[in-house]
Homo-oligomer: A and B are copies of this chain.
Amino acid sequence: MDIIKVSANSRTSAVAGAIAGVIREHKHAEVQAIGAGAVNQAVKALVLATGYLKNDSIDIVCVPEFVDVEIDTKVRTAIKMVIDPIDKIS
């Protein structure tokens, strides 16, 4: 399963659709963002995806964590948002 990578220029509705699709298929999704603009888009997309999935009676929750990623030989700290249906983690 691929990580959904979000940038500051990502469209929130597109990211939200990706999150909802991955959750429906895999019951687990991971979203990665680097920088304030990207993290903001990721969180907004997560709000939208939560609404989409609520229509399918799927309640999701998120646990953010730091991850180090290498970009052009430089190590940067990304935020990874781990998303699961409530009934899976409980």
Name A's B-contacting residues (CB within 8 A).
Answer: 8, 35-37, 39-40, 43-44, 46-47, 50, 60-66, 79, 81, 86-87, 89-90
Contacts and interface: CB of A to CB of B under 8 A. Distances in A.
A52 to B, nearest CB: 14
Contacts of A44: 66, 79
Contact of A89 (B36, B37, B46, B86): B86
**Copies of the protein in its oligomer:** 2
A40 B36 contact: yes
Contacts of A50: 63-65
Nearest to A8: B36
Contacts of A43: 39, 43, 64, 79, 81
